Chains A and B, each alone.
Chain A
Amino acid sequence: MSRGMWIGSVLTALMLGLALVSLVWTPYPYAQLDIPNKLLPPSLAHPMGTDHFGRDILSMIMVGIRTSMGVAIVAVAIGLAFGIPLGLLASQRKGGWVDEMIMRTNDVIFAFPLLAMAILITAVFGPSATNAIIAFGLFNIPVFARVTRGGALSLWEREFIFAARVAGKSRLRISAEHILPNILGILIVQGTIQFALGIQVEAALSFVGLGVQPPTPSLGRMLADAQTLVTIAPHIAIFPGLAIIGIVVGLNLMGDGLRDWLDPRIRVVRT
């Protein structure tokens, strides 16, 4: 494993750990207001200080990471669940009408910028975590469909697939038994990258008030709330910012590392 992947994995594990711990324990209840103790700088009692309502920032960040990761994971899962079957279906008969229909629909969705579409969906259907998930999940479908199709197309030309076809296996069965296992690597890598993107999208939507609604903490909204306070209490912007950077950098490094590690051709060159 490369050094980048190590750093990425450690960062991701750390963030995931914080998110998981928040399920059972946070230093303080994250929604507990303590207005007399607002904007306290970091101290032993509050390792990351308190925000403008006197809430403990560490507790909020732990839950915020969980929220962001939750949104991103479900959105990626939606993309995988719909994108992979569509991609496999399209690759089975390259150039056929099924392929054309799936891929051209993909092109249409790709034509809209991700954030603009996410803002549109959350603005029309109301801001909530569910709508943020739907918006980003919808965008993930063509991403995974395209990656799946691309990976599968080259496999359909390979001898072991011919062998399977000669043996009388149906296209569907070949897709499931031979194609899918062989493209799992690129899908995992793409999944990691989409996951990191999902964290950013959630943060961006929450920053403009269209993501997770209060009182559930969200890293993006913590940053937005900190805007006017950053000059008097920088810590309330720095820590949520660091958390977002931590997750995104961690996942991207891990994704890059995984790609190198899972791709046999590159591995051969390295060793």
Chain B
Amino acid sequence: MGIFDSRSVKLAGALVAGLWWSTAHAQSDITIALQLEPPHLDPTSAAAQAIDSVLYTNVFEGLTRFMGDGSIVPGLAESWEISDDGKTYTFKLREGVSFHDGAPMSAEDVKFSLDRARAEDSANAQKALFDGIAEVTVLDPLTVQVTLANPNGSLLFNLAWGDAVIVSEASIADIKTNPVGTGAYKFAEWVQGDRIELTRNDAYWGDAPALESATFKFISDPTAAFAAVMAEDVDVFDNFPAPENLPQFEADPRFQVLVGSNEGETILSTNNKQPPFDDIRVRQAIAHAIDRQAIIDGAMFGYGTPIGSHFAPHHPAYVDLTGNSAFDPEKSKALLAEAGMADGFETTLHLPPPSYARRGGEIVAAQLAEVGITAEIINVEWAQWLESVFKGKNFGLTIVSHTEPMDIGIYARPDYYFQYDNPEFQTLMETLNTTTDPAERDALLKQAQQIIAEDYVNGFLFQWAKLSVAKAGVQGLWADAPTAAIDLTSISWSE
């Protein structure tokens, strides 16, 4: 009897065939790594970006949606009509859309979702998006009418947010652990602390996506992130946390590096109500003490665009106001002296975990020290940051990236954590909300950028670059991030 009996030959043949099969057919699953894990899975009741990264457009959809280039296109609403006075929007819903539990999606669900989000006791993190809505009426199962108190030029944009997705009333009780949406992917499993798995929804109303399943893995440590990508344990790392490692990936033919813009205005947030920051001269002194390029080079290894106001440079209405707060330590010292603080002062600098904040914070502290301001660095975890800085407003300075799209409106909220209270700006924002003409809106937005830049509300540092690493064969990833999302429907593997 020979060593190769017929059984083992067959087995070997099967193995070879199996190998051939797996290489000849494009991969149909993908593993995407994120740094932060969602706290729960309801995009309509938390500010955490990670929820949207996993679920937005994949599991949950809204009436309108963002595309990778930032444009707003129809989502669950097929089309809409706007009345002449700009106060009534009539949405025509798509036919044949059903939730993952099999129930059809109808106008009732839209009404439920919008009413839930704008309700008095709503836990929605972006309630302001729905502010102008007076009433949501169901005209027929596929038509829904949204009536506004005042015309709102940004309604279609607002409805595209992850916070405005359509949810089903039947599944709302356990949405935080078992999200049921209308998207191209169904929620399959969440192993807390490790991964979330999604599988393709075969009953999807739109074109069937290329990938059958997707796994989102959570890797918070930058070193582990580097190792996971290098070892090819993950196919994509969205928002790669260590910019210093990118040149290595770029040089490696196995990987591609995507550098795009995102909506993250990274700012040195200043407590405008806390002395001495209530003095505009002090805030201006801080602005002139900061060398943005040094921060971008030192903390982000060159990835980032300096900003002079709270506005994304890739937006058409952007004005470059960096000159308004150019690096000028002498002027800074003069301003401090004028404000009666020639010897500087002491304050705190709260730094959340991401490297832009921790590293950027060390640089900012050193630059402030040059003009005599002693900023005591306090490193905090996100939970602490939300509790003591964001909610408790108990801070002097902090560094954080505001990643919501078009969020200049937060400066019109005097109770927002940096507590900027300027009636002129608030009126301007109200005017903006009721303006629908694009050119007029752009003019107003430019004016808004100007006001907060000249009031030196916060130290405006840089627009965060979205840095992602992927295996060379992955196609269709969003390079830019108009909102936090990883749109699986556009992703495929090259043959």
Chain A residues with a Cβ under 8 A of chain B: 31-33, 35-36, 38, 52-54, 126-127, 209, 213-215, 227-229, 231-232
- CB proximity of A192 to chain B, nearest CB, Å: 32
Contact pick for B377, options A36, A38, A213, CB 8 Å: A213
Mask of B192-229 contacts with A, CB within 8 angstroms, 1/0:
00000000000000000000000000000011001000
Asked if A232 and B294 sit within 8 Å, CB to CB, the answer is no
**Closest 3 A/B residue pairs (Cβ):** A228-B242, A35-B298, A227-B223
Asked if B222 and A36 sit within 8 Å, CB to CB, the answer is no
19 contacts across the A-B interface (CB closer than 8 A): A31-B369, A32-B366, A33-B294, A35-B363, A36-B297, A52-B244, A52-B359, A53-B298, A53-B363, A214-B362, A214-B365, A227-B222, A227-B223, A228-B223, A228-B242, A229-B244, A231-B248, A232-B245, A232-B248
What's the Cα separation between A232 and B244 when bound, in Å?
Answer: 8
Residue of B nearest to A213 (CB): B377
**In the complex, which residues of chain A have a beta carbon less than 8 angstroms from the beta carbon of B248?**
231-232
Contact pick for B366, options A31, A126, A232, CB 8 Å: A31
Query: A35 with B379: in contact, given A53-B362, A215-B365, A232-B248 (CB under 8 Å)?
Result: no
Query: A35 with B294: in contact, given A227-B222, A228-B226, A231-B245 (CB under 8 Å)?
Result: yes
**In the complex, which residues of chain A have a beta carbon less than 8 angstroms from the beta carbon of B379?**
127, 209, 213
**In the complex, which residues of chain B have a beta carbon less than 8 angstroms from the beta carbon of A52?**
244, 298, 359
Asked if B363 and A228 sit within 8 Å, CB to CB, the answer is no
Q: Judge if B9 is at the interface, Cβ distance under 8 Å.
A: no
**In the complex, which residues of chain A have a beta carbon less than 8 angstroms from the beta carbon of B366?**
31-33, 53, 215
**In the complex, which residues of chain B have a beta carbon less than 8 angstroms from the beta carbon of A126?**
378
**In the complex, which residues of chain B have a beta carbon less than 8 angstroms from the beta carbon of A213?**
376-379
**In the complex, which residues of chain A have a beta carbon less than 8 angstroms from the beta carbon of B242?**
228
What's the Cα separation between A36 and B302 when bound, in Å?
Answer: 11
Within 8 A of A (CB), among B309-359: 359
Given contacts A215-B366, A231-B248, 15 further A-B contacts (CB under 8 A): A33-B294, A33-B298, A35-B294, A52-B244, A53-B298, A53-B359, A53-B366, A213-B378, A215-B362, A227-B222, A228-B222, A231-B226, A231-B245, A232-B247, A232-B248
**In the complex, which residues of chain B have a beta carbon less than 8 angstroms from the beta carbon of A232?**
244-245, 247-248
Chain B residues with a Cβ under 8 A of chain A: 222-223, 226, 242, 244-245, 247-248, 294, 297-298, 359, 361-363, 365-367, 369, 376-379
What's the Cα separation between A229 and B245 when bound, in Å?
Answer: 7
Asked if B365 and A228 sit within 8 Å, CB to CB, the answer is no
**In the complex, which residues of chain B have a beta carbon less than 8 angstroms from the beta carbon of A229?**
244
**In the complex, which residues of chain B have a beta carbon less than 8 angstroms from the beta carbon of A231?**
226, 245, 248
What's the Cα separation between A92 and B369 when bound, in Å?
Answer: 55
Query: A228 with B298: in contact, given A53-B363, A213-B378, A215-B377 (CB under 8 Å)?
Result: no
**In the complex, which residues of chain A have a beta carbon less than 8 angstroms from the beta carbon of B367?**
33
- CB proximity of B109 to chain A, nearest CB, Å: 44
- CB proximity of A247 to chain B, nearest CB, Å: 24
**In the complex, which residues of chain A have a beta carbon less than 8 angstroms from the beta carbon of B361?**
214
- CB proximity of A211 to chain B, nearest CB, Å: 11
**In the complex, which residues of chain A have a beta carbon less than 8 angstroms from the beta carbon of B376?**
213
**In the complex, which residues of chain B have a beta carbon less than 8 angstroms from the beta carbon of A209?**
379
What's the Cα separation between A164 and B363 when bound, in Å?
Answer: 65
**In the complex, which residues of chain A have a beta carbon less than 8 angstroms from the beta carbon of B245?**
228, 231-232
Asked if A214 and B377 sit within 8 Å, CB to CB, the answer is yes
What's the Cα separation between A209 and B244 when bound, in Å?
Answer: 20
**In the complex, which residues of chain B have a beta carbon less than 8 angstroms from the beta carbon of A53?**
298, 359, 362-363, 366
- CB proximity of B246 to chain A, nearest CB, Å: 10
What's the Cα separation between A22 and B162 when bound, in Å?
Answer: 54
What's the Cα separation between A53 and B361 when bound, in Å?
Answer: 12
Residue of B nearest to A209 (CB): B379
Residue of A nearest to B223 (CB): A227
What's the Cα separation between A194 and B411 when bound, in Å?
Answer: 54
Asked if A33 and B377 sit within 8 Å, CB to CB, the answer is no
- CB proximity of B205 to chain A, nearest CB, Å: 43
**In the complex, which residues of chain B have a beta carbon less than 8 angstroms from the beta carbon of A54?**
298
Most buried by A among B247, B367, B379: B379
Asked if A228 and B244 sit within 8 Å, CB to CB, the answer is yes
Residue of A nearest to B243 (CB): A228
What's the Cα separation between A35 and B244 when bound, in Å?
Answer: 14
Asked if A35 and B222 sit within 8 Å, CB to CB, the answer is no
- CB proximity of A162 to chain B, nearest CB, Å: 58
Residue of A nearest to B226 (CB): A228
**In the complex, which residues of chain B have a beta carbon less than 8 angstroms from the beta carbon of A38?**
297-298
